[in-house]
Amino acid sequence: MAVTRDAVLEPSAIADRIARDLPAWHYEDGWIKRVYKTNGWKGTLMVINTVGHLAEAAWHHPDLTASYAWVEVRLTTHSAKGITEKDFALARKIEEVVGWQPGLEGGALEGTPADPRFAYIKYDK
């Protein structure tokens, strides 16, 4: 039987996928979750807007909770009542875009200056 994009994944499969593909995320209470730490309100809004754009483009919408210096992203597929491939696909894209550090790639883009006046997100090491 072919697996559809809305097939609910078993908890063991979810744990394996998180460990392999999304180590900064965790599974709790039927959601895959991630907290992004920011340097303040400006960074928080930038993360929220980035996640909002990706979610709308994907037509798969997470729940968000935010405070001055953090954003929590929670994903589940409400229509399937569990975690599906949709959740992992969007989580990977969010992780890729929010965590992008062009200055580490050695290309034409310098990335955000190290000066604390310009810091907006606290990247994972």
Is residue 70 within 8 Å of 37, Cβ to Cβ?
yes
pLDDT digits (tens, 9 = 90+) for 50-108: 999 999 999 999 999 999 999 999 999 999 999 999 999 999 999 999 999 999 999 99
pTM assigned to the model: 0.93
pLDDT digits (tens, 9 = 90+) for 7-46: 999 999 999 999 999 999 999 999 999 999 999 999 999 9
> Please, is 57 exposed, middle or buried when counting C-beta atoms within 10 Å of its C-beta (0-12, 13-18, 19+)?
exposed
First to last CA, the chain: 41
Domain annotation for the chain: domains and CATH numbers: 32-100 (3.30.1360.20)
Return d(Cα 14, Cα 22) in angstroms, integer.
10
Is residue 105 within 8 Å of 96, Cβ to Cβ?
no
pLDDT at 124: 86
Q: Give the angle subtended at the CA of 87 by the CAs of 86 and 92, to the nearest 5°.
A: 100
